[in-house]
Amino acid sequence: MKRVFADLRLRLNPNDTRTIQRVIKKAAELGYGLIAVPFAAEMRETEIASFRELCNEVKVDFASRVDLVPKSRNQLMFLLRKLRRRFEIICVVCENKEVARQAAKDRRVDLLSFSGLDYRDRFFDWAEAELASKSLAAFEVDVKPLLLLEGSARVRLLSTLRREVSIAKEFHVPIIVSSGVDKELLLRKPRELAAFVSLLGLDEASALDTVSTNPCGIVVRNREKLSRGFVAPGIRVVKEGTDC
């Protein structure tokens, strides 16, 4: 079966229509069949729909996404209750250990993201991976910092990512690779992203899964959950009424 390639993190300003059009068109030309854009929690449905229409014009599937940056476990729980049914992808940017642990074990969370450039500011360790392995959370690798960093800073981040990818593999936590870029010049072909992640210790097939099977699987699963007839995994309401 032909792979559908996905980039689940294109940072686009919803007010910059020209850039949005250029980036979406470029993504289609590079071979992406699915893209996602992080929106603010208060984003209106009509604005999200306009992104979807632009993607339809170039025959690229579009998924809505929100990146949560909670300061505490309680704030995370509140945001998940409020937003889970509004967005197709929920990512939690983990800036402290309390949030990281709760996000890893909550089945409403799709992606775990760690923005720190120093390993001491990142919290994806064996305990985190064990929790994520029992839920549905995937570990997201954001490529943009590696495109912009130079010298020792890039070396340190690469070393940290190798360690984290190794831990994710050990606990069978899905790995997602996203570009995180906001300009068309920074976009890379999906196979180039896969080649990059292979440097972090993944074989070719697993590296390709990080930009195809793994991200697409999240979107398919959540669209089923958000559909009208969904009750539970494998259970759907087919017909309602007194004559059922």
**What's the pLDDT at 231?**
43
Residue 230 has pLDDT above 50, yes or no: no
pLDDT tens, 28-42? Answer: 999 999 999 999 988
**What's the pLDDT at 14?**
86
Query: pLDDT grade, residue 53 (50/70/90)?
Result: very high
Sequence spans of domains, the chain = 5-229
Residues in the chain: 244
CATH class of segment(s) 5-229: alpha beta
CA distance 134 to 120: 25
The mean of the pLDDT values for the chain is 90
pTM score, whole prediction: 0.89
pLDDT tens, 15-27? Answer: 888 999 999 999 9
Query: pLDDT grade, residue 232 (50/70/90)?
Result: very low
Give every strand in the sheet of 61-68, ordered side by side: 5-7, 32-39, 61-68, 89-93, 111-113, 138-142, 175-178
The label of the residue with tokens 């130079």 reads: 150
Closest to 102 measured CA to CA, from 128, 124, 134: 128
**Residue-wise DSSP of 40-90:** -TT--HHHHHHHHHHHHHTT-EEEEEEEE--SSHHHHHHHHHHHTTT-SEE
Residue 242 has pLDDT above 70, yes or no: no
For the segment 182-202, the average pLDDT, to the nearest whole number, is: 92
pLDDT tens, 211-229? Answer: 999 999 999 999 998 876 5
CA distance 212 to 4: 6
